[in-house]
């Protein structure tokens, strides 16, 4: 397994991986436009030339970042790939001086195993919600907010 930063050639594979889950209602969809705009945020897991996992570290505000766009190909689940991606994102966050990470997720058990704790969404700073206006679920967000201090 190779873990690396995403490049332009990866966008179609990322788009398919993420939106296959979005069609099942277990994560929010991402447009190609959003993927291109946030490409520098992403770390990929690659196996034999195929993208089998993705996660992103999105900087939000002073010492605050979001872990998002987490998706692992179904055949690669339960192999520690998601854990490794999150750990790499945490390491990157630490080097940037991030003090707090959060995620909005439908998979709280996964993030709880990595040291995240569930919190009421209202405890997150208002800056977090600037992108929510473009979400199909706005203003009725049903994701679970979780936070971790570094």
pLDDT at residue 122 in the model: 78
pLDDT at residue 133 in the model: 54
pLDDT at residue 106 in the model: 87
Q: What is the mean pLDDT of residues 5-20?
A: 97
Give the side-chain half-sphere CA count within 13 A for 3. Answer: 16
Residue 68 pairs in a beta bridge with: 56
pLDDT at residue 61 in the model: 87
Q: Which of 129, 121, 126 lies closest to 145 in space, CA to CA?
A: 121
Between 102 and 123, residue with greater pLDDT: 102
Mean pLDDT for the chain?
90
For residue 58, give Cα distances in angstroms to 24, 41, 89, 98, 106: 24, 6, 10, 11, 18
Look up the pTM and report it.
Answer: 0.89
Domain architecture of the chain: domains with CATH: 2-149 (3.40.630.30)
Between 22 and 8, residue with greater pLDDT: 8
Q: Burial, 15: exposed, middle or buried (Cβ in 10 Å; 0-12, 13-18, 19+)?
A: middle
């Amino acid at each position: 397994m190779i873990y690396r930063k995403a490049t332009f050639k990866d966008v179609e594979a990322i788009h398919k991986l993420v939106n296959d889950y979005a069609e099942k209602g277990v994560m929010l969809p991402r447009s190609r436009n959003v993927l291109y705009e946030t490409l520098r945020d992403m770390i990929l897991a690659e196996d034999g030339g195929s993208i089998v996992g993705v996660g992103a570290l999105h900087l939000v505000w002073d010492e605050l970042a979001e872990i998002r766009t987490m998706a692992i190909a179904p055949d690669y689940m339960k192999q520690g790939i998601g854990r490794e991606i999150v750990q790499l994102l945490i390491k990157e966050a630490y080097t940037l001086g991030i003090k707090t990470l959060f995620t909005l997720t439908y998979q709280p058990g996964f993030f709880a195993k990595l040291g995240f704790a569930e919190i009421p969404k209202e405890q997150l700073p208002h800056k977090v919600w600037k992108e929510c206006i473009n979400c199909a679920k706005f203003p009725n967000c049903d994701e679970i907010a979780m936070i971790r201090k570094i």
